[in-house]
Amino acid sequence: MAHLRFKALDLANNRPKVQVESKGKISDYFASEVFGLPQMETLLSPDVYKRVKKAIDEGLKFDNETADVVASAAKSWAISKGATHFTHWFQPLTGSTAEKHDTFFDAHAGIEKFKGTALVQQEPDASSFPNGGIRSTFEARGYTAWDPSSPMFIYGVTLCIPTVFVAYTGEALDNKAPLLKAVEAVDEAATKVCQLFDKKVTRVKASLGCEQEYFVVDKALYASRPDLVMAGRTVFGHNPARGQQLDDHYFGSIPPRIYDFMKDFEIECLKLGIPVSTRHNEVAPSQYEVAPIFEDINVATDHNQLLMDVMSRVAEGHRLKVLFHEKPFAGLNGSGKHNNWSLITNTGVNLFQPSNSARENLLFLTFLVTTVKAVYEHAELLRASIASAGNDHRLGANEAPPAIMSVFLGSQLTSVLDELEKKGNVKVEKGENMYMKLGIDKIPPIILDNTDRNRTSPFAFTGNKFEFRAVGSTDNPATPMTILNAIVADQLTDFYAAVEKEIKKGTDKRLAIVGILRKYIKDSKAVRFEGDGYSDDWVKEAKKRGLANIKDTPRALDAYLSDGSRKLFNRLNILNDIELEARNEISWENYIMKIQIEARVIGDLVQNHIVPTAIAYQNKLIQNAKGLKELGVKNTQVLKVIDSMSGYIDTLEKEVFDMTEERKRINKIVDTRKKAIAYCDDIKGKYFDKIRYAVDKLELIVDDEDWPLVKYREMLFLR
């Protein structure tokens, strides 16, 4: 086996440079592969364009005639760019994207065709996508329906049409449908609240900017690690002598091979209209981040899914492999996908932007405080929205936000809220300290961020937006964003009703608003935390405050099915009971599968690679010991090594055997939730670390020449 490792290393260390073609000015090719409103404006008649825009803006149904015109224009445009096929592109509950390609070419007619009906609706063979029992219960089929609010794009030779995926009985079978509903709910609720301040506000849009973290390893090294291939993470591997202790990777210079890869995938992203804007190294070796400029939440979500796909595909050409897993390497930082979120009105006001004027600040404080209250009320739901087997390694692992949901506001805003709570004083002026004169005439004053940064908070206010930092790097942002927008929508609705009630009683509007905010601030105080979220003290403190700390996915998911959650989703018409239950089934099943795969990989690697290698090496030592004895040389150390190896080998044989037996028992459990919990507690909890410990010890003992798995130090310091 070891020869495979060295072959892989040889390949990895002698890669020829991949030439990345320079494309020149970004504005020359940005969105060149996109068919959205700007393209429609140039290609459709003004009349049709107006109808299309109205339908998109107001979420109206497309009449057949308009759909035909759009389809025809999209087809001609796509064909002119070399496309031959089209597909409805959707996000089933598998956690990735799906597509089924159809050709434009009609062999009977001998020409390319694309009708409005094919644009608007399709019926993919839905039986192979997870549905949590919905379709078998209702014996209904699923269909995909065009989402015109997200632009079409060409990928390869295929025109991709963003769609929702729903059962014929109406239940959502994807991630996009509930997100669209949640965004609608927050729009409606936020607009009403805004109108208390400004009647010109008729629409509020939720925005999202995703910071995507990832690791990159050489493809050959990846391929030689069955655990990476099967489970996306290394189940074994001793920490390298130099990990991230030196902190020298963060914002350090990017290794040339990675830099070429980044430039290459960024070009592809920009062509697809994904506004990627920043790239840098992350904390751990071989860890990086890419972030696009924020966009409308639905488009940003589609773009994030597409980005991940583009990255994986472009990496192929560079003989690299992108790891999106939340924790591919033990002992190093995990990866997240920070979801930067804000609400912006049709009048161009970011509702989370503090301002100079007291009146605008009351609006700002309304949204700030309502969001804090929403997080407080639904912390467990928010926790559930980021639950996954991968993210379990990250949350609460002392290097990522804990599984306790809390909000960080920064000292300035904290004192504002304290003031407001005590005195009802809402005057917030931009203080002197916000401007820093540099004393250089040519450089204007810099506005300092009015919030200090807290990297340990799962949900932090960062100047003009909230940053949901606990989201996992693999997650589809649609899920956490559905939940966040839903809970904020609900809280805003509550707020509006309370204000109305006060006003009816004759209270002055402004006083009514302040009064309710004060109450919210008091009620939700427990969820605000400014300290170190990674510390043990916080875990204790949070417990005292009554905040939940749910460490694992199977249990975190329960929050979706609580009475309160069911009512919330029903009230807002986002997910009904059947959908909620189906989704949880799928998530639990998914969790079981992930742990099952990891357990199998662990078992296989131990039995087929680790133990045979260890025994072979131990035999060499035994030969050596015997030889020494024959010669009359005293060497107790080699006997000690032989002995300790026996201990580890014995542990491995025993634990792997027991784990397999335990899995046989658990696999008989019918209830999905119980089975998921059993996998979590009785497989992952009882065996994974124990087995890993013994393997990692053996890695240190066995001759480097014989070790079958590519080591951490070999994977992580790619240049």
Positions in the binding site for Mg ion (CB under 5 A): 338
For helices 509-523 and 358-377, angle between their N-to-C axes, nearest 10 degrees: 40
Residue number with the smallest Cβ distance to ligand ADP: 209
Helical residues (DSSP H) of 108-207, grouped into ranges: 116-120, 134-138, 176-195
- Select from 319, 225, 262 the least CA-distant residue to 14: 319
Q: How far is the CB of 382 from Mg ion (least distance, A)?
A: 18
Query: Could you tell me which residues come within 8 angstroms of residue 468 by beta carbon, excluding any fewer than 6 positions away?
Result: 338, 339, 340, 341, 382, 386, 458, 459, 480, 484
Q: Helix, strand, or coil here: 702?
A: coil
Site for ligand ADP contains 211 (CB under 6 A): yes
| Residue among 26, 157, 246, 293 that touches ligand ADP (CB under 6 A) | 293
Site for ligand ADP contains 355 (CB under 6 A): no
- Cβ 679 vs Cβ 666: under 8 Å: yes
Q: How far is the CB of 296 from ligand ADP (least distance, A)?
A: 10
Site for ligand ADP contains 477 (CB under 6 A): no
Q: How far is the CB of 209 from ligand ADP (least distance, A)?
A: 2
Give 176 or 338: the residue with its C-beta nearer to Mg ion. 338
Would residue 172 be called left, alpha or beta, if left means φ above 0 and alpha means ψ between -120 and 50 degrees? Answer: beta
| Residue among 91, 150, 244, 462 that touches ligand ADP (CB under 6 A) | 462
Give 469 or 663: the residue with its C-beta nearer to ligand ADP. 469
The Cα–Cα gap between 242 and 141 comes to 54
Give 324 or 468: the residue with its C-beta nearer to Mg ion. 468
| Partner interacting with residue 342 (select from ligand ADP, Mg ion, none; CB below 5-8 Å by kind) | ligand ADP
Q: How far is the CB of 693 from Mg ion (least distance, A)?
A: 35
Of residues 47-106, those binding ligand ADP (CB under 6 A) = none
Stretch that binds ligand ADP, among 77-85, 203-211, 239-247, 325-333 (CB under 6 A): 203-211
| Residue among 175, 342, 391, 457 that touches ligand ADP (CB under 6 A) | 342
164 forms bridges with which residues in the sheet? 145
Q: List the Cα angle 599/604/606 in 5-degree steps.
A: 95
Give 291 or 575: the residue with its C-beta nearer to ligand ADP. 291
The Cα–Cα gap between 498 and 516 comes to 7
| Partner interacting with residue 326 (select from ligand ADP, Mg ion, none; CB below 5-8 Å by kind) | none
Q: How far is the CB of 460 from Mg ion (least distance, A)?
A: 8
- Cβ 495 vs Cβ 367: under 8 Å: no
- Select from 324, 384, 678, 690 the least CA-distant residue to 551: 384
Query: Could you tell me which residues come within 8 angstroms of residue 275 by beta carbon, excluding any fewer than 6 positions away?
Result: 30, 292, 293, 295, 303
| Partner interacting with residue 533 (select from Mg ion, ligand ADP, none; CB below 5-8 Å by kind) | none
| Residue among 144, 212, 340, 491 that touches ligand ADP (CB under 6 A) | 340
The Cα–Cα gap between 681 and 684 comes to 6
Q: How far is the CB of 302 from ligand ADP (least distance, A)?
A: 15
| Residue among 465, 555, 663, 673 that touches ligand ADP (CB under 6 A) | 465
Give 240 or 334: the residue with its C-beta nearer to ligand ADP. 334
The Cα–Cα gap between 528 and 520 comes to 12
Q: How far is the CB of 398 from ligand ADP (least distance, A)?
A: 22
Residues that bind ligand ADP (CB under 6 A): 207-209, 211, 291-294, 340-342, 350, 462, 464-465, 467
